[in-house]
Structure 1
Amino acid sequence: MKKPKMTLKPMLVATLLVASPFLAHADALQALKGFVAEVKSGTAQFTQTVSSPDGKKKKTSSGTFDFQRPDQFRFVYTKPFQQTIVGDGQKVWIYDPDLNQASSRKMDKALGATPAALLAGTNLDRDFTLKALPSENGVDWVQATPKQADGGLQSLKIGFRGKELDAIDVVDGFGQRSLLQFSSVNTNVPMPADKFRFVLPSGADLIEQ
């Protein structure tokens, strides 16, 4: 049976949160803009939970995430199925080892207003309208609304605990929710020169879009 494809359609202390929610909201925007301005590269582990529109069906996957500005990133899904998504600054590559098949698409067509653009992009104000949202369970949230209408997205949010990246929450055009939660985040770490280079495995099929 062919396995389902995973689609990747980027704090104040408690007393202050209670006493001054306005400051908490402003802090979320500052955390995001500081992340973009100050963090040039990073690594993390992630867990992704995809929920059906009614919330009754859920699928969980996990893996590692690396990025380097501008527009370079690598998502490696390891459980329960393997898949690699690489952005090399020019193209986005998706490789499925079980099918031994890869696809590629030009970066400007593939990135746009996506979670990867939030995490690895450099010009959020060009692509998104940003709005601070109320904090939930110690996470400060920012809503990122694409400036160009995208029927593939209903909403896109990014969350921080203080200045540290915590989660990205995406609802697609069909109401399906994808929540990426990050852990073991390390920022401004040296990256190998070939980290974001995709080499087509021997014998793999390539579909160029």
Structure 2
Amino acid sequence: MNFLNFKPSRRLLCAVALLLGSLLGSGLAQADATQSLKDFVREVKSGRASFSQTVTAPDGKRKKTSSGTFEFQRPNLFRFQYQKPFEQLIVGDGQKVWTFDPDLNQASSRRIGQALSGTPAALLAGGNVEKDFELKAQPSEAGVDWVLALPRQADGNIQQLRIGFKGRELVALEVLDAFGQRSLMQLSQLQTNVAIGAERFRFEVPKGVDLLEQ
């Protein structure tokens, strides 16, 4: 399952999931990023997208690529499903975060407050953007406008994140964690404020699967 010698932490993946739940469907230009982020935290209620993700180790040489789909409904409901190169499912049901690894025949659960405590993403999912982050417009790169978001209170888990837009469409999210691991997620086929069945945010432990509760 782990074809390289490193993998993104579950904490980081969950943080990315909640952050995407807050931002997915934005239609911002670089100059309007601060106000638009506040608007979308308030206005965007649900969404889905496909993603491809590249996680780069701190040495900058080892890379792991993966792809899948993402769905969310605010507050704190999300389904983050990796399909390639291996299957993994992360579900936030509003109370707990569930992780299921079919290859290991193992599932785990933690309360959302425990799983995401202190992460900027957890604050942004329902919080005040200006209170939680310092936002800075960044230079465009290859046609993508970037906004840098720096946590106002260091929590020891995430150093910074960058949000990328092409025209008025959100296309990328990059997270740098405290260990120097960088995760770049590129989004496609965005749909926002769509109806998503409640069952998509429920998880039942499959028969015969080991459950670790934390």
TM-score (norm 2): 0.81
Letter in 2 for 1:81: F
Higher Rg: 1
Of 192, 203, 207, the residue aligned with 2:208 is 203
The CA deviation at 1:199 is 0.9
Q: 1:206 to 1:92 in 2, by over 3 A?
A: same
Note if 1:177 corresponds to 2:182.
Answer: yes
Task: Name the residue aligned to 1:159.
Answer: 164
Structural RMSD (CA):
2.2
Identity %: 62
Contact 2:109 2:212 in 1 (8 A): yes
Letter in 1 for 2:127: N
Of 43, 50, 53, the residue aligned with 1:48 is 53
Alignment of 1:1-80 (within 5 A): 5-8=7-10, 9=12, 10=19, 25-80=30-85
Q: Which has the higher helix share?
A: 2
Instruction: Tell me whether 97-106 or 157-166 shows the greater mean CA deviation.
Output: 157-166
Q: 1:73 to 1:207 in 2, by over 3 A?
A: same
String of CA shifts for 1:138-188, please: whole Å, max 9, x gaps. Answer: 322222223332222222122222332211101122211110111001111
Task: Name the residue aligned to 1:113.
Answer: 119
The CA deviation at 1:105 is 1.1
Q: 1:6 to 1:176 in 2, by over 3 A?
A: closer
5+ residue gaps, structure 2: 13-18, 20-28
Instruction: Tell me whether 186-195 or 53-62 shows the greater mean CA deviation.
Output: 53-62
5+ residue gaps, structure 1: 11-23
The CA deviation at 1:124 is 4.0
The CA deviation at 1:73 is 0.8
TM-score (norm 1): 0.82
Alignment of 1:75-86 (within 5 A): 75-86=80-91
Aligned pairs, how many?
A: 194
- Secondary structure of the residue that 1:49 maps to in structure 2? strand
